[in-house]
Amino acid sequence: MYIIPAIDILNKKVVRLREGDYNQVTEYDVSLEEMIEKYQSNGTDYIHVIDLNGARNDFSNQQYIFDVIKKTNMQVQYGGGVRSIDKVKELIDAGVHRVIVGTQAITRPMFLDELSRSICGRDRCSNQVVIAIDVLDEVIKYSGWMESSPIKLMDYVDRCLALGFFRFLCTDINKDGKLEGAGIELYEKLLDHSPFIKLIASGGVSSMDDIEKLAKLKVESCVVGKAIYEDKISIEDIKNWNLESLISI
């Protein structure tokens, strides 16, 4: 299992939200450029960048983030405001390693069909497109976690799988930003339902003990944000874990 450090951007500032609530924002006195440099200089080669403005249809951050991403050699998993097939293509062509799609995949029934036909063979879909599943009490949320979908969680997973999408970023909103542990029960349910999916866990990770628990579930990777900024998990911890994971493959 691989650890991916998260950088969330709101109004061009590095922040973390609590339970996805834009009224519960913690700002950090560091820029996106500085965080990327910090990770890169410590041997981290993969980052997770989310445009929180974009997630709410405000694209004022987007060019700033794109300009920063283009300057780095790190592999970037990017999400927030990806609302069209053309935007997915643009990001991939610009060198973004993985593009996260969420709201459009839920609100436009044919979006994933079109995406699958347009740019994906089965392997490419799995490797370059990540399906976001943001979950609150097993209800799928979207549009910056402000809206609820009537689609049942497992039905949605099955639909994505049928179209060739195998990699999912699952955020347990109940856990997110609290530093109270990861959503182990939710991830167990997903993996019991579809053992072969490539699952990226997100939300609540507070310690290397939480990382160990996720590794035992055999999730592909996990996203860690607030625990880094609050000095619960060090960049050195992440570097050492990821090196050991690569050696054990």
Residue 151 CB contacts under 8 Å (≥ 6 apart), including other chains: 106, 140
Which residue among the candidates 45, 58, 134, 231 is catalytic per the annotation? 134
Question: Taking all residues of the chain, what is their mean pLDDT, rounded to a whole number?
Answer: 89
Mapped onto helix, strand or coil, the DSSP state of residue 222 is: strand
Longest Cα–Cα distance of the chain, Å, equals 44
- What's the average model confidence in pLDDT over 9-26? 88
Q: Rounded mean pLDDT of 113-124?
A: 73
Predicted local confidence at residue 90, as pLDDT: 86
CA 162 to chain CA mean position, Å? 21
What mean pLDDT is predicted for residues 109-118?
88
Instruction: Name the band, by pLDDT with cuts 50, 70 and 90, for residue 142.
Output: confident
* Cβ-contact 96, 69 below 8 angstroms: yes
- pLDDT of res. 233: 96
Compute the distance between CA of residue 64 and CA of residue 12 in angstroms, rounded to an integer.
Answer: 8
Q: How far are the Cα atoms of 64, 103, 134, 174, 234 from residue 47, in angstroms, in the given order?
A: 17, 21, 19, 23, 15
- Of residues 89 and 119, more confidently modeled: 89
Q: How confident is the model at residue 125 (pLDDT cuts 50, 70, 90)?
A: low
Per-residue pLDDT reduced to its tens digit, 211-227 = 999 999 999 999 999 89
**Cβ atoms within 10 Å, residue 174:** 16
Q: What is the pLDDT of residues 25-83, one digit of tens each?
A: 999 999 999 999 999 988 888 999 999 998 888 989 989 998 998 888 899 999 998 98
Contact 186, 137 (CB under 8 A): no
Q: What percent of the chain lies above the pLDDT cut of 90?
A: 59
Digit-coded pLDDT (tens) for 92-107: 888 899 999 988 999 9
Q: Give burial (CB, 10 Å; 0-12/13-18/19+) of 212.
A: exposed
Provide the whole-model pTM.
0.91
Among 112-116, 155-159, 193-197, 212-216, the least confident range: 112-116
8 in catalytic set: yes
Whole-angstrom Cα Rg for the chain? 17
pLDDT of amino acid 249: 40
The model's confidence at residue 138, banded by pLDDT at 50, 70 and 90, is confident
Average pLDDT on 169-196 reads 90
Q: Quickly state the pLDDT bin for 248 (edges 50, 70, 90).
A: low
13-18/2-10 β-pairing: antiparallel
| pLDDT value at residue 119 | 74
Query: Rounded mean pLDDT of 156-180?
Result: 89
